[in-house]
Amino acid sequence: MEHEPLLMIPGPVPIPQRVRSAMVQQAINHRGPEFGAAYADIVRVLKPLFGTENEIYVISGSGTAGMEAAVANFGKDKKIVSLVNGKFGERLQKIGERYGSVTALGSEWGTPLDLPGLEAALEEGAEVVTMVHNETSTGIRNPAEQVGALAKKHGALFIMDGVTSIGGDMVEADRWGVDVAIVGSQKCLAAPAGLAAVSVSQRAWDMIAENRPFYLDLAAYRKSGSGTPMETPYTPAVPLFLALREACRIIDEEGVEQRFARHRRMADAVRAAAGAWGIELFPVVDEYHAYSNTATAMKIPAGITDKDLRGTVKKMGIEIAGGQDHLKGRIFRIGTMGGVGTPEILATLAAVQHALRKHGFDAGDGVEAAAGVLG
């Protein structure tokens, strides 16, 4: 192919050249001031993206490692209520089951969370609530503010997977009452995969488990992170830290509000295209639940196969995502995360529109509708 494929899936996302080039530098000692300064810089930029004044720790591992760190350190042997309406909610439930006693409140994928059930579980003594803020498997954004208020009212700890929202959509961890929030490097931050960042409230520290895992022991990260220079307890993935630091510089240059507005505008454009095409969005939203601003899930129209649709798009050099698990073949998903902008969105929508029409679906002009939003 004459061109690198354009990744428009809900992460990993295209990584700006500046960020990739930051990894080329020679290895540095990770117990020295140069590494410490990079780590500190990352934390400084991430705090407003998390909406927190709590300290943030960076783990060399994927978002899943960050989720497990949260659950293992703060949910062990506790009564956990796990809100589930998609693949990543299920993952958080499974992680919870390895450490605590889990009540899973499942809704059909892509439909609203069971908030009355949550209130009942909290009244029955649940001590920890887990939720995925932005569920890329279905394109729904879950109501962190409402869940945080319920958790707080009943004195429960709130662990929020913000892997695909933090850095792209507004998150206000402190105001919402989120005690532990997690982000992954390869989503809205537009850095390479392989790092997770975790913020921890004082309330969470006060109830940290006695028996913790070793590599994911957040108390060890806290100790190493509080010295000068900042360090990690075990050897970090140095090139990924340097890349994430460069990604943070780009975020600094763009500005947090502008970044959120860009993500919202890109998602608005994709939703406008779906409307013009005559294609239904997959999630069922209500006054508390919204369409995700970082991943849009649409139903595949009758008569077209997933393979035809995504295959035709892929031949044009663009990768979009299919459905996962039981949604395979039923939906397709477009990521609007990280460093992408108007050209990538227009190209992607034009390719999808062509594929829809080529395979017999009489799609309206979604490209023009999106251009109207973006222009």
Looking up tokens 């042997």 gives 77
65 scored as a contact of a second copy (CB under 8 A): yes
Task: Render 307-336 in DSSP notation, one character per residue.
Answer: HHHHHHHHHTTEE-EE--GGGTTTEEEEE-
Q: Specify which residues 60 forms β-bridges with.
A: 195
Q: Which of residues 71-110 bind a second copy (CB under 8 A)?
A: 72, 94-95, 98
The whole-angstrom distance between residue 248's C-alpha and the CA centroid of its chain comes to 16
192 scored as a contact of a second copy (CB under 8 A): yes
Instruction: Quote the CA–CA distance of 337 and 10 in Å, as a whole number.
Output: 7
13 scored as a contact of a second copy (CB under 8 A): yes
Axis crossing angle, helix 256-277 with helix 238-254, rounded to the nearest 10: 80
Judge whether 132 and 88 are in contact, CB under 8 Å. yes
**97 vs 254 by CB, closer to a second copy:** 97
Instruction: Quote the CA–CA distance of 311 and 324 in Å, as a whole number.
Output: 16
Shortest Å, Cβ 306 to a second copy: 15
27 scored as a contact of a second copy (CB under 8 A): yes
Shortest Å, Cβ 86 to a second copy: 16
Shortest Å, Cβ 341 to a second copy: 16
Rounded (to 5) percent helix, strand, coil in the chain: 45, 15, 40
**70 vs 279 by CB, closer to a second copy:** 70
Residues 30-59, mask of contacts with a second copy (x by CB under 8 A): x-----------------------------
Instruction: Quote the CA–CA distance of 222 and 225 in Å, as a whole number.
Output: 5
Instruction: Quote the CA–CA distance of 287 and 290 in Å, as a whole number.
Output: 8
Candidate list 2, 4, 287, 362; residue touching a second copy; CB under 8 A: 4
173 scored as a contact of a second copy (CB under 8 A): no
318 scored as a contact of a second copy (CB under 8 A): no
**98 vs 307 by CB, closer to a second copy:** 98
Interface residue list for a second copy (CB under 8 A): 4-5, 7, 9, 11-15, 20-21, 23-30, 60-65, 68, 72, 94-95, 98, 184, 186, 192-195, 211-216, 234-240, 243, 319
